[in-house]
């Protein structure tokens, strides 16, 4: 099958692309390779992907003409991972709007105009951030996003679903919960904790966040979930589906886990509380189990152990 993956050089995109390439599928990947975080991480991912013969194009989804000029045909699945992530106070609302909502609209138009006849499913990757400060209900929980990221991702999600309702484009949307693992960008919690432990630097902790609760989900479980969805794609037209671990941990428990696994102590440096930070998430995944047979299997200890090993190997290579 032929997969078209946006954000292919990013964290989840690279892990997913590698998994699909290893199964013998054709993967066309696009990424704008922007510098929101260290672009060398994306370039390293891209090098690994090119060794597995990905067809890669540097494309900015905000520019319609760049999409329309792609020499790409007969796409079976589009997996839309590209986004402006996070809660960066220095990133403008317009940047979130352009990269999350307008870019999604351009991609949907591209699929409608050039690939509608062959396309089996457009998989929009959304986020638990659309739920707001607490995300503990199922997919029927009323979205109340509190960040630019959550607001624009919700708009993108609903825009994608409108193409299913109005244009009969086969679309579904996955709401992911706190994904971690190898290739994760360096400004996320676990990479920062691991760096603080192994390199004996300070971990910057936002005030009040020690007791924040998360459904931390290992990236390979997300990859397996997407593969399950592909196998059962006809069950998912027009659906919103949560993907995440149904186990929860506090930030404090995660700090202790990294300390135990690295046999180190982590120095905490307090920062002011961050607006838009979710207080509590717990992935309700009954629908994913019913529709696609999704069942995460990686414990937090096992996943973090693998992420620590990846960090060490990357450090040695550098």
- The number of CA neighbours under 13 Å toward the Cβ of 36 is 24
217: nearest Cα among 253, 235, 242, 194: 242
Question: What is the residue whose two structure tokens read 């991609």?
Answer: 107
* Buried-state track 236-247, b at ≥16 Cβ within 10 A, e below 16: beebbbbbbbbe
Burial class for 114, CB neighbours closer than 10 Å (0-12, 13-18, 19+): middle
Bridge partners of 267, per DSSP, are 202
Annotated active-site residue in 96, 110, 131, 149: 149
Helix (H) or strand (E) holding 242: strand 240-243
Q: Is 57 a catalytic residue?
A: no
Catalytic sites, residue numbers: 149
């Amino acid at each position: 099958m032929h997969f078209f993956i946006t954000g292919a050089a990013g964290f989840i995109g690279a892990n997913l692309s590698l998994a699909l390439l290893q199964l013998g599928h054709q993967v066309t990947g696009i990424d704008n390779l922007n510098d929101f975080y260290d672009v060398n991480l994306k370039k390293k991912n891209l090098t690994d992907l090119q060794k597995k013969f990905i067809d890669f194009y540097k494309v900015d989804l905000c520019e319609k003409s760049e999409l329309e000029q792609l020499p790409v045909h007969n796409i079976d699945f589009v997996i839309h991972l590209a986004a402006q992530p996070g809660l960066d106070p220095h990133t403008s609302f317009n940047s979130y709007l352009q990269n999350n909502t307008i870019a999604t609209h351009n991609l949907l138009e591209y699929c409608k105009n050039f690939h509608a006849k062959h396309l089996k499913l457009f998989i929009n990757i959304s986020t638990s951030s659309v739920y707001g400060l607490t995300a503990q209900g199922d997919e029927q929980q009323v979205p109340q996003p509190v960040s630019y990221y959550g607001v624009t991702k919700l708009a993108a999600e609903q825009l994608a679903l409108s193409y299913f309702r109005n244009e009969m484009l086969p679309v579904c949307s996955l709401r992911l919960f706190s994904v971690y693992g190898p290739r994760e960008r360096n400004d996320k919690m676990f990479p920062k904790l691991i760096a603080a432990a192994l390199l004996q630097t300070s971990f910057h902790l936002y005030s009040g966040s020690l007791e924040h609760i998360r459904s931390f989900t290992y990236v390979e479980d997300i990859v397996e979930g997407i593969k399950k969805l592909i196998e059962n794609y006809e069950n998912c037209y027009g659906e919103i589906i949560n993907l995440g671990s149904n186990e929860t941990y506090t930030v404090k428990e995660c700090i202790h886990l990294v300390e135990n696994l690295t046999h180190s102590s982590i120095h905490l440096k307090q920062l002011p509380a961050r607006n838009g930070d979710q207080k509590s998430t717990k992935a309700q995944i009954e629908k994913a189990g019913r529709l696609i047979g999704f069942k995460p299997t990686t414990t937090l200890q096992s996943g973090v152990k693998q992420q620590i090993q990846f960090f060490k190997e990357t450090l040695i290579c550098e």
